[in-house]
Amino acid sequence: GAYRTDVEGNGKREPATPATTYKDIEQVVEGGAKEIDPVHPYDCDDPEKTHDLMAAIREACQEYSVLSKVILETAYYDDYFRLYDVTQEVIERYHAGFVKTSTGQHPKGGARLETAAIMLEAIKNSGQNCGFKAAGEIDTPDDAAQLIALARIKMESRFIDPTLFRLGSSKQ
């Protein structure tokens, strides 16, 4: 199911609701956040709950004028058609400013070329001005170069700009 982000840093993991989701975003914005990185409730098997949570994220981000960078946790998806559909839905229905591949915490891994290609295709076909961030398991300059090349092929060179394309790595 869907769980709240631990905005207080206390390690609690509680079920998310639209009201707590909105309140959590309000709290981090009051703390100075200009961008929000919510995780799409990929493992929630209730479409209505997923919609309500994503709608709360959309509404809070619009209300507080912050960028929503929705993390899809692409390693979860064995069905690439489903990943494409979820990416488009997050862009078109929930107005994500960015879609991200991963938290980097999923046991199956993070950014992969095939899932990045699917997400970039969904962005391109949406016609929206949505950015893309690949994160998780970008360990080498070669990994980064491959993702940049893929984005150039799929989206054209103008896409390689920090307002639309970002890479994230947790490696130090």
* 23 catalytic per annotation: no
Catalytic residue among 6, 12, 23, 37: 37
User: Whole-angstrom Cα distance, residue 86 to residue 42?
Assistant: 9
* 37 catalytic per annotation: yes
Judge contact between 76 and 105, C-beta under 8 A: no
* 139 catalytic per annotation: no
* Percent composition of the chain: helix, strand, coil (DSSP 3-state, to 5): 45, 15, 40
Catalytic residue among 6, 23, 69, 133: 133
Judge contact between 26 and 64, C-beta under 8 A: yes
Catalytic residue among 24, 69, 100, 143: 100
Residues belonging to the active site: 37, 100, 133
